[in-house]
Amino acid sequence: MQKSTYLILAAAGLISFSTLAQDIKPTSEKGFQESIEKHKSMLASSPLKEFKARNVGPTNMSGRIVDIEVANNQNTFYVAAASGGVWKTEDNGQSFTPIFDHQGALGMGAIALSPSDNNVLWVGTGEDNSSRSTYAGSGVYKSTDGGKSWEHMGLIHSQHIGQILIHPTNPNVVWVGSMGGLYSKNKERGIFKTTDGGKTWKKVLNIDDNTGIIDMQLHPTNPDILLAASWERFRQAHDFIGNGKGSAIWRSEDGGNTWKKAVEGFPQDEFVGRIGFDFSKSNPNVVYALLDNQGKSDKPAPEPRRRGNQQQEENPLKLEDFKEMSLDQALALEDKRLETFLRRNQFSTKYTPTELKRQLKTGKITTNQIANYLGGAVDANAAMFGAPIKGAEVYRSEDSGKTWKLVSESDIRQLYNTYGYYFGEIRVSTSDENEVFVLGVPLMVSRDGGKNFASTDSIGDPHSDHQSMWINPNDSKHILLGNDGGLYRSYGGGSRWDHLNTQMPISQFYSIMVDNATPYNIYGGMQDNGVWYGKSTNKPEDRWEPLFGGDGMVVAVDTRNNDIVYTGSQFGNYARINKATGERRRITPGHDIGNAPNRWNWRTPAELSYHNQDIVYMGSQYVYQSLDQGNTWTTISPDLTKNQKSGNVPFATLTVVEESPLEFGTLYAGTDDGNVWITRNNGGNWASLNAGLPQDRWVSSISPSKFKEGRVYITLNGYRYDEFNTYVYMSEDYGKTWVSIKSNLPEEAANIIIEDPKMPNILYLGTDHGLYVSIDEGKNWTLFQGEIPNVAIYDMVIQERENHLVIGTHGRSVYVVDLKQIHDWANPSPKVMEK
């Protein structure tokens, strides 16, 4: 939709001018503190603390491990899950226990164990990977009893912690590297030092309010020498800058009190991205640095992999061929050749050769519109790979970081591709200064001092996207590895791996769905782990089955036979799958010729109609409807976004498409740039529902009532502005007017609201910090926390036959709650409404 259209709508009173531009302020330090204290108070007084919730896994497909700390007794070690807290084992990984639940935040940046007193453990909250689902923390915490109890030690507004170091002989001396806010600028970033165990802090290195510290390392034999990596980065909903002149290596020779930039031999330009490094323990003056170099490469980008029979086809039709093509020439094209062209370029399936020629003949479309079908659009998935940048590079210093030399000679660009911000770890063998591991999408190793790298040949098939590694200082063949699939252990230097996840349900779900089988199945899409399903009766260690790869996204199940599943991966790559036969068909709709190309959200909305499960809805910036299980599609909306911002992240997209369960043809749509719409006639026309709602916030969920026409609930959030206010609203008139039902909730980004299917007064709300229940239509909320920790909840669904609430968390896998306990608590002598 063009800006002029918005001016007309504004003049008509349908939206305000504030919709066009809004200054959203990040949550302040005071706001952080108040929210954490209120959450803690609600937990202390909650009558639901003892209510039961059952974790059903999975653990065979796990979540991101960002840090590992091993005690002097190596049977004891700690692992930090990106959004799932801290876990401890005392039996060398045979069992794990969560030890950080119910603290201020469950997102992890770094952990550190005191070498001189293994009872002292520090936790820095707020993941440092700067990804789409990186949750802000609440500062740093200390335990002096091995994780049994915790004390908050400040830096509450640091938001994301890059690294923590503890002095090797004095546990009261601690250095904390803070990255600061992800989506905003703030001053609580840089290096902070304490000499009194965290009672007081001094900022010893400050670059600017957009540059933080991503890594720090101590010299193995001289703790006065420290290295630190600063990283300038700024993320927005529509753009991400992961490099800048603030990114650099810093060096201290006085215990971190003063710092100088290491400039000799290391890049100093604006293309310097994330940096990680590691000292050699066998030769302590040798240190390696791994750089994400965003500078343009003079080497050609890797060739994209061709699909189908494209390689075999002689002289294939290309989009640009239609620029100079006459109408007669287009009509004379062979149908078989035209069909191959249409499918290769992913035209909407309604464009068969016959239909394309018919529309050309009638003048509905032109050859020039065919030539411009993609309109300069970038394939968001393809854009993550093969860009002509220098990418990963390895540097070596032989004077403990004073001077550096580029040593990597092999092309390791595909270690990172374009998203080096997500990685950055490099580890040196504890027995050989020339054996170096670099952690990226693959795990690669060099045995010649960083010159040449190759993928590690290993048995055990460890997951990709490697995030953390510990190498035994006494036995370099003994390695612990953390990646997006969980925790792995090797006793052979990486030649063989064991997966240690059976006790850690830390999967990061983006979506959740159920079917009507007996027992029913639970389906879900997970961060970097595809789409899986498992029985609702599962224990966490029971195996789930895979359905789809990539980053798993939304799932919809045809419950008439429970075999047909609609699902997919990031940026709208969706398919229809028959579980019984294994058949799968891509269903992603192509846009109409003449329309702007589709912009797909990372978590593209898709759902089946309540009224006929042959009907499927999907949303790009347009709403699409299929009447035949996704085989063909009709566009039933204009561009519903503001479409004002552009960058290197797909934006101005639909985040929600929801159908009324009571009225066919009544649909709601929400966008990432803050628009909310309704159609009452199956897309014939759309009305804005923005009035009365906070402007420009991400629409995270819309839930039309199952009990009353016109009743609808909505959640929005300002997460992508580092604004963590709670936005929950209800309407009784199809969204014409909205009433806030935030009530007594703390300020936490709201992700999903759903209505109880038996008792309309009961609502369930998932936020970035847990589950809340209201038994009076949102007038008051109670925290459901105990067996469910304060984990981010992305999605929820109710299996009505079994009366189960199924919760997809982003960090602690899936929980099932029997709603009878809620119903009995809500109304001890009820007449539960049966549907």
Nearest to 747 by CA among 787, 790, 717: 717
pLDDT, tens only, 58-99: 999 899 999 999 999 999 999 999 999 999 999 999 999 999
Distance CA 622, CA 596 (A): 10
Distance CA 523, CA 452 (A): 42
CATH top-level class for 208-302+390-455?
mainly beta
Omega of the bond leading into 519 within 30 degrees of 0 (cis): yes
Q: How far is CA 136 from CA 111, 277, 520, 622, 748, in A?
A: 16, 24, 35, 32, 11
Contacting residues for 15 by C-beta, under 8 A, at least 6 apart: 6, 9, 688, 690, 691
Q: How far is CA 332 from the centre of its chain?
A: 48
Q: What is the largest CA-CA distance in the chain?
A: 84
Inter-residue contact 760 to 776 (CB < 8 Å):
no
Helical packing angle, 335-344 and 353-362, nearest 10°: 100
Among the listed residues 326, 337, 374, 333, the one whose alpha carbon sits nearest the alpha carbon of residue 357: 333
Q: Which of 718, 690, 713, 688 is nearest to 702 (CA)?
A: 713
Helical (H) or strand (E) element with 10: helix 3-11
Query: In a 3-state reduction of DSSP, which class is residue 488?
Result: strand
Task: With CA atoms as reference, report the closest residue to 318 among 276, 372, 278, 361.
Answer: 372
Q: Distance (Å, rounded) from C-alpha 253 to C-alpha 260?
A: 9
Residue among 103, 99, 57, 93 at smallest CA distance from 80: 99
Residues paired with residue 753 on neighbouring β-strands, in sequence order: 765
Please report the pLDDT score of residue 13 as a whole number. Answer: 40
How many Cβ atoms sit within 10 Å of the Cβ of residue 305? 7
pLDDT for res 386 = 60
627 phi/psi in degrees, rounded to 5: -100, 0
- CA terminus-to-terminus distance, the chain: 41
* Domain 62-206 bears CATH identifier 2.60.40.10: no
- Say if residues 649 and 695 touch (Cβ distance below 8 Å): no
Beta strands at 564-569 and 606-608: parallel, antiparallel or unpaired = unpaired
What per-residue confidence (pLDDT) applies to 459? Answer: 77
Q: Write 35-41 long-range contacts (CB < 8 A, 24+).
A: 35/724, 35/746, 35/747, 35/748, 36/104, 36/105, 36/138, 36/156, 36/746, 38/746, 38/747, 39/104, 39/746, 39/748, 39/769, 39/770, 39/783, 39/790, 40/104
Identify the CATH homologous superfamily for domain 3-26+507-826: YVTN repeat-like/Quinoprotein amine dehydrogenase (2.130.10.10)
Q: Residue 223, CB half-sphere, CA atoms under 13 Å: how many? A: 11
- The strand pairing partners of 785, in sequence order, are none
Dihedral angle over CA of 80, 84, 90, 95, nearest 10 = -130
Cβ(574)–Cβ(525) under 8 Å? Answer: no
What Å distances lie between residue 725 and 154, 451, 746, 747, 750, CA to CA?
22, 49, 8, 5, 8
Structure tokens at 52: 């039961």
Question: What would the pLDDT profile of 182-239 be if each residue is shown by its tens digit?
Answer: 999 999 999 999 999 999 999 999 999 999 999 999 999 999 999 999 999 999 999 9
Asked if 62-206 and 208-302+390-455 have one fold, the answer is: yes
> Per the omega criterion (within 30 degrees of 0), is the bond before 58 cis?
yes
Which string of DSSP letters, residue by residue, matches 303-352?
PPPP-TTTTT-SS---GGGGSS--HHHHHTS-HHHHHHHHHHTT--TT--
Query: Cα separation of 29 and 189, whole Å?
Result: 13
Stretch (H or E) spanning 30 = helix 29-45
- Residue 536 DSSP symbol: T
In the prediction, which pLDDT does 502 show? 79
User: Sign of torsion, CA 405 409 412 413?
Assistant: positive
Are residues 3 and 641 in contact, defined by beta-carbon separation less than 8 angstroms? no
DSSP state of 591: P
**Please, what sign has the CA dihedral across residues 345, 587, 570, 680?**
positive
Give the pair of three-digit tokens for residue 255.
């215990």
pLDDT < 50: residue spans in the chain:
1-21, 304-311, 832-835
Whole-angstrom Cα distance, residue 532 to residue 216? Answer: 37
The number of helices, as runs of H, and strands, as runs of E, in the chain is 8, 58
pLDDT at position 380: 72
Residue 298 pLDDT: 82
Task: Determine the 3-state secondary structure of 356 from DSSP.
Answer: helix
Beta strand 723-731 pairing with 698-704: unpaired
Confidence at residue 418, expressed as pLDDT on a 0 to 100 scale: 85
Tokens of 39: 């959450």
Q: Residue 315 CB: number of other CB atoms within 10 A?
A: 7
Helix, coil or strand: residue 212? strand
Q: Where are the domains of the chain?
A: 3-26+507-826, 62-206, 208-302+390-455, 319-382
The predicted pLDDT at position 383 comes to 65
Kind plus residue range of the DSSP H or E element containing 8: helix 3-11
Q: How far apart are CA 437 and CA 646, in angstroms?
A: 37
Phi and psi at 79, nearest 5°, equal: -130, 145
**Residue 288 vs residues 115, 168, 263, 564: alpha-carbon distances, Å:** 23, 21, 15, 51
Contact in structure between 122 and 89 (CB atoms under 8 Å): no
Q: Give one DSSP letter per residue of 34-98, joined into a string.
A: HHHHHHHHHHHH-TTTT---EE----SS---EEEEEE-SSTT-EEEEETTTEEEEESSTTS--EE
- The residues with which 824 forms a beta bridge, in sequence order, are none
Rounded CA gap, 730 and 763, in Å? Answer: 11
Predicted structure pTM score: 0.94
Length of the chain (residues): 835
- Residue whose token pair is 């935030």: 742
Which residue, among 591, 580, 531, 586, has the nearest Cα to 555 in the 3D structure? 531
For residue 516, what are its two tokens?
């009507």
Residue 613 tokens, joined: 């499960």
3-state DSSP call for residue 272?
A: strand
Strand segments (E) across 484-622: 486-490, 498-499, 509-514, 521-526, 530-535, 545-548, 555-557, 564-569, 573-578, 584-586, 606-608, 616-619
Cβ atoms of residues 121 and 78 within 8 Å: yes
Which DSSP state fits 300? Answer: P
